[in-house]
Amino acid sequence: MSKRIDKSWEEKRLSLIREIAADSHFHRVFDALGDIHFFAKNLDGETLFFSQGLLAHHGLQQDSQMIGKTDEELTPGTWANRYVEDDKWVMKTGRPKLGILELWFDEVGLPGFYLTNKYPLKNERGKVIGVMGTIQAARVDLETLSPAAQSIMPAIQLLQTVPVQFPALEQLADKCFLSVRQVERLFRQSLGMSPRTYWMKCRIRKSCELLKDGRETISSIANMLGFCDQSNFNRHFRQHIGKSPKEYQKKAGSLPNS
């Protein structure tokens, strides 16, 4: 059990913080940590501070390109909604939200899993004035998942390896030695989505890899991943990524074989 910090040392810490120059930014220490990104936003969700790794992660070169941008502006599609909801919860409650496992575009432009920690920013009167936190690439395994998610790891791994057809919920439950209802509840509790939604995201991520590779046509990718037709694939892809497969491929600079 940790002991309370002596009052004299607490006063020295506060004194140091108050004397720090406005342009002496603590967040710059994250610039040397390539796999951990820092951010800080105001109450309007505008990004005001960030490590250079986060800037590069978004494909930007200058600080001016990112300052003032919101999640909706930086992240395509509907993914930003979840980020904003978490920010609002932290700012409303004044409590941190840690170990959030969420989908985010990785450094090569593909959606992957990241661990996010968010903390409230408060002024001297204790009023919340924003939110800050860190983002780090996560391995979806027993070392990074919460205890609740660890129990469904066999189902997670199975869904990652069967992109064509969704396994029966009973099969997922048997893999985890749980009931169907428990599996569904733990997926929503740990990942914020149902098993079927997680499976669909795995398929979409695989399609992103194939589109960036450029050796397959969009129609062949749709067929390879078990979509009933290209139109169905386009609809699901746009729903998750925020753009069509063709638009995604064009941005990636990949030209499929005809």
Does pTM surpass 0.75?
no
Question: How is the chain split into domains, by residue range?
Answer: 7-137, 147-252
Fold of 7-137: Beta-Lactamase (3.30.450)
- The CATH superfamily holding the domain 147-252 is Homeodomain-like (1.10.10.60)
**pLDDT one digit per residue (tens) for the chain, 258 residues:** 456 667 788 888 888 878 887 777 777 888 888 789 999 999 999 999 999 888 877 767 788 999 999 998 987 666 788 899 999 999 999 999 998 877 776 654 566 778 899 999 999 889 999 999 999 987 665 555 567 778 898 998 899 888 889 999 999 999 999 999 999 999 888 777 799 988 998 898 889 889 988 889 999 999 999 999 999 999 999 887 778 999 888 876 665 544
Q: Which residues contact 181 (CB under 8 A, 6 or more apart)?
A: none
Nearest by Cα to 47 from 58, 35, 36, 31: 58
Whole-number Å distance between alpha carbons of 37 and 31: 8
